[in-house]
Amino acid sequence: MADDMESLAGVTPQTMADEITANAEAFSIGNAAPGLARLPLLVITSDDGLAPAVAALVEAIEAQGGKNIKTAHFATDHSYSDHRMALESEVLQWLAGLK
């Protein structure tokens, strides 16, 4: 957490870590599923290890009635280093399809 403190006065890496640990359930992105279910979503993953958590989020959104979700997975790193043109194309196609 030391690199993520930016300009938070009086915050230490330990207090940030403690807050995240103490509020893990409240801070869960899954809590946003009801609101996200009302939006068109493009969910893109890579081989960075986060795909299973993202899949669980998509399932939670769908369970809340989310029907306008497009997913795509690229076999690449977190920065999409060797798939940036494909990533761009995916985003542009999705944007073009919005009504």
Rounded to whole angstroms, the Cα distance separating 40 from 68 reads 5
In DSSP notation, the chain reads -GGG-TT-TT--HHHHHHHHHHTTTTT-GGGGHHHHTTS-EEEEE-SSS-HHHHHHHHHHHHHTT---EEEEE-SS-TT-TT-HHHHHHHHHHHHHH--
Please report, for the chain, the start and end positions of each structural domain, with discontinuous segments joined by +. Answer: 2-97
Per-residue pLDDT at 3: 65
Averaged pLDDT, 89-93: 98
The 10s digit of each residue's pLDDT in 12-25 is 888 888 999 999 99
Per-residue pLDDT at 11: 80
The 10s digit of each residue's pLDDT in 23-73 is 999 999 999 999 999 999 999 999 999 999 999 999 999 999 999 999 999
pTM of the model: 0.77
